[in-house]
């Protein structure tokens, strides 16, 4: 059984209640923090743990904290990115819905390390029912002296607020999130300056993902060395994986980083194999924005080594034969899946969610959707395949935020690995999976 850091108490009844969480050892990390750590020491402890951002980019958390401008007289802000809108990803919701105090405790720890007195949880609008759970937990934390003035008799004070968005995918990008939090349209900002210098309300700000923040209490209670001892050389600790698609046991699983992909898909402890005894065709390993890999490349690298659920193993081979761990949205496709229809679904999503600020993304996402629809409806030509690759190439890397990349990578990878299926679709003028 894998070690549980984030989900160790997740099945305890009434875990959302302060007293239940407290009786299980909740908020002891905050008490330990006041006793044993200065803010800078806490940052160093997170650095030593090797914790990387769990929202998709995988940037080292402690290093990100160290970039915060502490020389200015302006207030600092700590923001939790709970805008979980990546298709195939639902692990942050799991934490917020079932164990909100773990997230709040992590917010207190991070805010203390950063010298923050006002912090925010920005949550996706569609998760309004989760927002209500978190707001109740925040109220309980205030009532029990873990938020507000002079927390637990210390000189440290913190106010925490939960703010819903309006359901825009683009607000998962941290600068668009900050724009939305300020009450503006959620358009990404040009960087630099980065949020660590000019963030919320023009002040130094750190934005971290829910899963990242919820990992902090365990690290402080058990030590950076204990966390760093889990996982691989470059991928420390555990990771929540949202598994869905054509598997027997969809759900949220906590794995130790470095677990073989084959074991994750086929073992009874996790996904339990492919539905109806079908064959594995392809996997999107990190949410819909990462490259798709066919069965032979998701189970083994191009060198023939077992593919692992870790940042470095999934990225091995670059985008020619590899992909990304991303947010851990693990979408499994069996051999009844039409890659053209699947890709059209993703292209339609990214076209709809583009903020329109950058012309390559605004126009390119629409072109890709229209061409894929043309192929899907039997009206495509062979030239359309290369045209899709051409458009994806010119969208990628040419936008302010990564949404353009997110739209381009699935298109390029699907054609790279399943080109014959697109050609067959055009020749038959129909889909062989649905005819």
Assess whether 246 and 375 both reside in one domain: no
The verdict on 256 and 350 lying in the same domain is no
Task: Establish if 9 belongs to a structural domain.
Answer: no
Q: Do 246 and 103 lie in a common domain? A: no
Is this structure's pTM higher than 0.85?
Answer: yes
pLDDT confidence of residue 202: 96
* Same domain (yes/no): 358, 303: no
- For residue 181, the model assigns a pLDDT of 97
What is the per-residue pLDDT across 78-135, written as a single tens digit (0 to 9) for each? 999 999 999 999 999 999 999 999 999 999 999 999 999 999 999 999 999 999 999 9
User: In the numeric block, which tokens belong to residue 431?
Assistant: 């889909």
Of 334, 356, 391, at which residue does a domain stop?
334
Residue 382 lies in a domain: yes
Q: Are the CB atoms for 215 and 102 separated by under 8 Å?
A: no
* One domain, residues 296 and 403: no
Instruction: Kindly state the helix (H) or strand (E) to which residue 36 belongs, with its residue range.
Output: helix 28-36
Q: What is the Cα–Cα distance from 435 to 431, expressed in whole angstroms?
A: 6
| Integer Cα distance of 403 and 387 in angstroms | 20
The enclosing domain of 41 has a CATH number of 3.40.50.11540
Q: 48 vs 44, 107, 184, 237, 356, CA distance in Å?
A: 6, 19, 37, 12, 40
pLDDT score, position 3: 82
43 plus 176 within the same structural domain: yes
Q: Residue 44 domain-assigned?
A: yes
**Is residue 9 packed enough to be buried (19+ CB in 10 Å), middle (13-18) or exposed (0-12)?**
middle
d(CA 353, CA 351): 6
Share of the chain above pLDDT 70, in %: 100
Beta carbons within 8 Å of 8's beta carbon, 6+ residues apart: none
Are residues 23 and 129 both part of a single domain?
Answer: yes
Of 298, 317, 334, which marks where a domain is finished? 334
- Residue 239: pLDDT over 70: yes
In a domain, 2, yes or no: no
Number of domains in the chain: 3
Q: Is residue 260 assigned to a domain? A: yes
Residues 267 and 211 in one domain: no
97 and 189 share one domain? yes
Q: Give the residue numbers spanning the domain of 422.
A: 339-428
Residue 7 lies in a domain: no
Mean pLDDT of the chain: 95
Q: What is the pLDDT of residues 385-432, one digit of tens each?
A: 999 999 999 999 999 999 999 999 999 999 999 999 999 999 998 888
Confidence (pLDDT) at 1: 65
Q: Which pLDDT score is estimated for 435?
A: 56
More confident residue, 434 or 299: 299
Q: What would the pLDDT profile of 305-355 be if each residue is shown by its tens digit?
A: 999 999 999 999 988 999 999 999 999 999 999 999 999 999 999 999 999
- Euclidean distance between CA atoms 385 and 388, whole angstroms: 5
d(CA 362, CA 356): 5
What pLDDT sits at residue 29?
A: 97
Query: Which of 160, 193, 228 delimits the end of a domain?
Result: 228
Pairing status of strand 205-209 against strand 77-82: parallel
Tokens of 284: 């999107």
Domain CATH number, residue 261: 3.10.20.600
Asked whether residue 3 is assigned to any structural domain, the reply reads: no
Q: Identify whether 12 is part of a domain.
A: no
Residues 6+ apart with CB under 8 A from 330: 88, 241, 242, 243, 244, 245, 264, 283, 284, 285, 286
* Residues above pLDDT 90, as percent of the chain: 94
């Amino acid at each position: 059984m894998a070690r549980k850091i984030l989900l160790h108490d997740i099945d305890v009844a009434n875990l959302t209640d302060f007293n239940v969480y407290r009786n299980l050892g909740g908020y002891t990390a905050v008490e330990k923090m006041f006793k044993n750590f200065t803010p800078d020491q806490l940052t160093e402890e997170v650095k030593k743990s090797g914790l990387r951002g769990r929202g998709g980019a995988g940037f080292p958390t402690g290093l990100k904290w160290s970039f915060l401008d502490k020389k200015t007289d302006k207030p600092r802000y700590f923001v939790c990115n709970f805008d979980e809108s990546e298709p195939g990803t639902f692990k942050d919701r799991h934490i917020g819905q079932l164990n909100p105090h773990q997230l709040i405790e992590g917010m207190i720890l991070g805010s203390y390390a950063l010298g923050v007195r006002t912090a925010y949880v920005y949550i996706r609008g569609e998760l309004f029912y989760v927002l209500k759970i978190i707001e109740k937990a925040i109220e309980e934390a205030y009532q029990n002296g873990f938020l507000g003035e002079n927390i637990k008799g210390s000189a440290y004070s913190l106010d925490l607020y939960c703010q819903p968005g309006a359901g825009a995918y683009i607000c998962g990008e941290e600068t668009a999130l900050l724009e939305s939090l300020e009450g503006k349209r959620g358009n990404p900002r040009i960087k630099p300056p980065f949020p660590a210098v000019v963030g919320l309300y023009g002040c130094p700000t750190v934005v971290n993902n829910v899963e990242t923040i919820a990992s902090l209490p365990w690290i402080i209670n058990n030590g950076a060395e204990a966390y760093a001892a889990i996982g691989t050389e470059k991928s420390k600790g555990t990771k929540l994986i949202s598994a869905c698609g054509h598997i027997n046991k969809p759900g949220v699983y906590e794995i130790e980083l470095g677990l073989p992909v084959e074991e994750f898909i086929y073992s009874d402890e996790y996904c339990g194999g492919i539905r109806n005894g079908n064959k594995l065709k392809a996997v999107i390993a990190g949410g819909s924005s990462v490259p798709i890999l066919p069965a032979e490349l998701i189970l083994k690298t191009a060198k023939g080594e077992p593919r692992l659920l870790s940042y470095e193993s999934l990225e091995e081979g670059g985008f020619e034969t590899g992909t990304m761990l991303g947010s851990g949205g693990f979408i499994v496709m069996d051999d009844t899946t039409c890659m053209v229809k699947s890709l059209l679904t993703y292209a339609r999503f990214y076209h709809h969610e583009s903020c329109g600020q950058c012309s390559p993304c605004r126009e390119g996402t629409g072109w890709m959707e229209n061409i894929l629809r043309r192929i899907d409806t039997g009206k495509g030509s062979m030239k359309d395949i290369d045209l899709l690759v051409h458009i994806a190439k010119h969208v990628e890397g040419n936008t302010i935020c990564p949404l353009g990349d997110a739209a381009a990578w699935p298109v390029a990878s699907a054609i790279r690995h399943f080109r014959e299926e697109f050609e067959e679709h055009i020749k038959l003028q129909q889909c062989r999976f649905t005819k």
